[in-house]
Amino acid sequence: RREMGVAEVGPKLLGQLKNVNLVEQVRAEECCGFGGTFAVRHPEISGAMVSEKVDTLVDTGAKEFVTTDCGCLMNIAGYAEKNQKPVTGQHILSFLWERTSSGGEPS
């Protein structure tokens, strides 16, 4: 999002799919708190950030979210599962594959 400047690519791709209701959380551009060693060096701040991120996802009413970042996926989905929040996560490539392939597993 920050380094590559491609934040709009994912939503644009998702918006082109049929049977996908794209909703965006408030402050979507804010970090989930993982950020490499940040979570280790500042666990209290990191925990508060992911908690807020998950709460804003739940507030959208969405049952699942997608992300382009594996670290964010692990942090957000892990927090949601551990805290029994009603949202699951998936990497955008897996999501796109499932909805655009003719079936089967990615090769």
pLDDT in tens, 26-74: 998 899 999 879 999 999 999 999 999 999 999 999 999 999 899 999 9
Q: What percent of the chain has pLDDT over 90?
A: 62
Q: How far apart are CA 23 and CA 5, in angstroms?
A: 20
As a whole number, the mean pLDDT across the chain is 89
Range of the domain at 36: 31-100
Q: How far apart are CA 16 and CA 78, in angstroms?
A: 28
Q: How far is CA 76 from the centre of its chain?
A: 7
Straight-line distance from the first to the last Cα atom of the chain, in angstroms, rounded to the nearest whole number: 27
Please tell me the total count of domains within the chain: 1
Task: Answer whether residue 46 is part of any domain.
Answer: yes
Task: Answer whether residue 58 is part of any domain.
Answer: yes
Query: What is the model's pLDDT at position 70?
Result: 92
Task: Answer whether residue 3 is part of any domain.
Answer: no
Query: Contact at 8 Å (CB) between 88 and 94?
Result: no
Query: What is the model's pLDDT at position 11?
Result: 87
Task: Answer whether residue 95 is part of any domain.
Answer: yes
Q: How many CB atoms neighbour CB 94 within 10 A? A: 12
pLDDT for residue 107 is more than 90? no
